Amino acid sequence: MLSFKLPNRFCGRAMLGVAMVLGVAIVAGAAEPSVPYVPTPQEVVERMLEIAKVGPQDYLIDLGSGDGRIVVTAAKKFGARGFGVDLNPVRIKESVENAAKAGVSDRVAFHQRNLFEADLSDATVITMYLLPRVNLLLRPKLLDLKPGTRVVSHDFSMDDWKPDAFVEMEVKEKYGNAGGDSSIYFWIVPARVIGSWQWQLTVGGKPLAYEVTLEQKYQMISGTVRVGASSVTLQDARLRGDQISFSFSADVNGSLLEHRFSGRVTGNTIEGMATIAGSRSQRQLEWNAIRGAKTGQI
Ligand SMILES: C[S@@+](CC[C@H](N)C(=O)[O-])C[C@H]1O[C@@H](n2cnc3c(N)ncnc32)[C@H](O)[C@@H]1O
């Protein structure tokens, strides 16, 4: 059999082409399809769910759920619960039938609804096979979800919100049997950490005040710390969902101390652990930081 591989750019353009031919409207809130129906090949569905580490604790929502395959597979193979939304009543009927055939009707639901109006607040995982413009219209809503919520998109990115993971795979069943590549983009919704964070630690028997000022672009963070007379740049600053960590070296009362902090962000507080090491000793301390007034858009 003759097989050939289409570059992913072609696959993306093919879907965009279908959108143009069908004249689908890309308008948030429009009660007409924003995206044509093109099913995700089953092997890509499974890879998407593996990348997102979907499991029995998860509640998955597929935006534009087609014949329900992502939600049904998440329930049957990965033990999750969830729902799908689609504007097309034929797709909803197929999804309900597919859920029944798979024996997962008690754990999934399908709603004939505009995806822009779906309540996403219960989601721990969002899946999408939409279009770049639609992804961008959804992006602010996704970034407002609970930190740690995972988002997986088949074939389309989120522009300058770079993915936390990206996988490209060759797929024989893409566009029927045409074959091609599928791209999988994976993000973790980051906590909002912009601003000044303060805390105190007892170091060398004396209370010491720290102030970190953080900048943020999506999950990318950077910042500086003021401690004693020192002001230094943070090293290895990382944010993954609500988990934050960074390190720095600073002169404290004449000694160079290595600092490493890691903790969990909840609103305007961080709780975690600090490790402080000098030339002869190392200590682990509880770390509780509070954010001051300044916050901002990520
Ligand atoms: C590319 S298909 C993806 C189907 C399924 N998620 C999958 O990956 O197999 C997009 C689906 O979104 C639905 N859709 C398009 N615009 C929508 C909207 N505004 N609200 C809800 N569903 C929509 C279409 O009917 C279609 O079934």
Domain ranges of the chain: 8-188, 195-291
Nearest-atom index, ligand 1, CA of 91: 27
The alpha carbon of 68 and the centre of ligand 1 are apart by a number of angstroms equal to: 10
The alpha carbon of 240 and the centre of ligand 1 are apart by a number of angstroms equal to: 29
The alpha carbon of 192 and the centre of ligand 1 are apart by a number of angstroms equal to: 30
Residue 64 tokens read as: 């534009």
Give me the CATH code for the 195-291 domain, please: 2.40.128
Domains 8-188 and 195-291 share a fold: no
For the chain, where are the alpha helices, taking DSSP H only?
A: 8-22, 42-51, 69-78, 89-102, 132-143
Nearest-atom index, ligand 1, CA of 127: 6
Full-prediction pTM beyond 0.85?
A: yes
The alpha carbon of 89 and the centre of ligand 1 are apart by a number of angstroms equal to: 11
Residue 36 tokens read as: 């044509």
pLDDT of residue 201: 95
Nearest CA, atom 9, ligand 1: 39
Probe ligand 1: pick from 86, 120, 155, max atoms within 8 Å of CB?
A: 86
Give me the CATH code for the 8-188 domain, please: 3.40.50.150
Q: Which residues line ligand 1 (CB under 6 A)?
A: 33-35, 37-40, 62, 64-66, 69-70, 85-88, 91, 114-115, 129, 154
Task: Sheet containing 125-128: give its strands across.
Answer: 108-112, 81-86, 59-63, 125-128, 150-154, 180-188, 165-171
DSSP characters over 163-175: -SEEEEEEETTTT
Radius of gyration of the chain (CA): 23
The alpha carbon of 85 and the centre of ligand 1 are apart by a number of angstroms equal to: 8
The alpha carbon of 250 and the centre of ligand 1 are apart by a number of angstroms equal to: 53
> How far apart, in whole angstroms, are the C-alpha atoms of residue 173 and residue 165?
23
C-beta atoms surrounding 267 within 10 Å: 11
Residue 72 tokens read as: 């049904």
| pLDDT averages per 10-residue partition of the chain, 298 residues | 35 54 50 84 98 98 98 98 97 98 98 97 98 97 98 98 98 85 98 96 90 97 94 97 97 91 97 94 95 71
Angle at 202 between CA 196 and CA 207, to 5 degrees: 70
Closest to 13 in 3D by CA, of 132, 150, 186: 132
The alpha carbon of 4 and the centre of ligand 1 are apart by a number of angstroms equal to: 27
Nearest-atom index, ligand 1, CA of 31: 19
CB 151 within 8 A of CB 142: yes
Nearest-atom index, ligand 1, CA of 69: 9
pLDDT of residue 295: 59
